[in-house]
Amino acid sequence: MRRLRLNQDWIGRIRLALTIVGLPYAVCKPETRLSSSSPLSIIHSPSAADWVHNPYTNTLRMTSSTVAPPPHLKSRCQPYPGSQIKRFPVPDDKVDWSMVWPQYLPVQHTDPNVASRPTWADPDLGSKAFSPRFNRVDGPVDRTSFLGDYELLQNRPLNPRGRTGLAGRGLLGRWGPNHAADPIVTRWKVDATGQKVSHPASRRPVLQFISIKRKDCGEWAVPGGMVDPGETVTLTLQREFSEEALNSLALPAAERAQTHQRITQLFTAPGLQVYRGYVDDPRNTDNAWMETVAVNFHDETGNSVSELPLQAGDDAGQVTWVDLDSAFPLYASHSHFLETVAKERGAHW
């Protein structure tokens, strides 16, 4: 409960700050409160023996689903991001599709930008020459879900985590799963003499991660992004990190090549895959939702990526090293990923 109060204090402060600076849209407010039985906590903190190397994605991943999935809370936030649209209110006990609810009347919304058919978005269902193969890898677009096969209702994919109060695609480009990748780059916090800094309360060493402030909502987040059609997750992780945290697209060619070489070293070492699954993203709808693979790349000695000059680029308004701490509010399910990183590395949380 103490942690919940802390979180809400932070959210209040951030919302106040956003109001002052007038960001495009305020932090999305979950409709429901976290309860003390929230599945946000780690069921089992894995030991080194629980990790196996996956040669295809070059990640170490957990052998079993030891981490509880994130709760479906932000996916019901009001108003819908980037709009004044109010979702049809969905109480906790009606989230699951198995609960019969004839009165359910979700608001239909697809953002005009998505409807205008940018290259990253699907056409509308029913459009000529658009026959998506749901639950399949559909040409260069992966329409499979980490949660298994999803259902279709009237030819529309159904969010496997349940109702959101909004039908259509909202701000998301793909019908069904929208796949992302989240690079969590960490180092130990050290003092002026190079000694690890421990947190006074937990007495555990403090980890820091590279965080960006998203331009769209002003929330702090992991510098993740969408997997482009045909792209491997490994490549997305490095590309998104370079674009958002190092502003690689704006660097002069020589500097860009140097930066690329340095971060390739970090990203080619196997990372720890800390999460793979559904993301409780405020943009989720009944028919389109976020899924991700979150991988931790750790600079143990602090002399690799730690020395790179951070510069916000692309979707990021700011970039900085942030201490891992449960009280720091983050976008979507990102706190959940960081909690796993902290537990796995024996760090403060």
* Interface with ligand RP5 (CB under 6 A): 180, 182, 221-222, 224-226, 279, 281, 290, 292, 315, 332
CA distances to 7, 194, 232, 276, 302 from 188, rounded to whole Å, are 23, 10, 29, 24, 7
Supply the minimum distance, in Å, between the C-beta of residue 219 and ligand RP5.
11
Pick between residue 205 and residue 284 the one whose CB is nearest to ligand RP5.
284
Supply the minimum distance, in Å, between the C-beta of residue 38 and ligand RP5.
19
Structure tokens at 193: 């003499």
Q: Are 88 and 105 in contact (CB under 8 A)?
A: yes
Supply the minimum distance, in Å, between the C-beta of residue 334 and ligand RP5.
6
Residues with Cβ within 8 Å of 61's Cβ and at least 6 positions away in sequence, in order, are 51, 52, 54, 272, 273, 276
Least Cα distance to 62 among 80, 74, 49 occurs for 49
Q: Are 57 and 235 in contact (CB under 8 A)?
A: no
Q: Where are the alpha helices (DSSP H) in the chain?
A: 2-21, 112-115, 233-245, 253-268, 334-344
**What residue number has its CB nearest to ligand RP5?**
224
Query: Rounded to an integer, what distance in angstroms lies between the CA atom of residue 5 and that of residue 58?
Result: 39
Pick between residue 292 and residue 340 the one whose CB is nearest to ligand RP5.
292
Pick between residue 188 and residue 337 the one whose CB is nearest to ligand RP5.
337
Supply the minimum distance, in Å, between the C-beta of residue 214 and ligand RP5.
7
Q: Are 212 and 314 in contact (CB under 8 A)?
A: no
Pick between residue 197 and residue 322 the one whose CB is nearest to ligand RP5.
322
Supply the minimum distance, in Å, between the C-beta of residue 241 and ligand RP5.
11
Least Cα distance to 346 among 171, 188, 122, 151 occurs for 188
Pick between residue 160 and residue 205 the one whose CB is nearest to ligand RP5.
160
Supply the minimum distance, in Å, between the C-beta of residue 82 and ligand RP5.
11
Pick between residue 104 and residue 216 the one whose CB is nearest to ligand RP5.
216
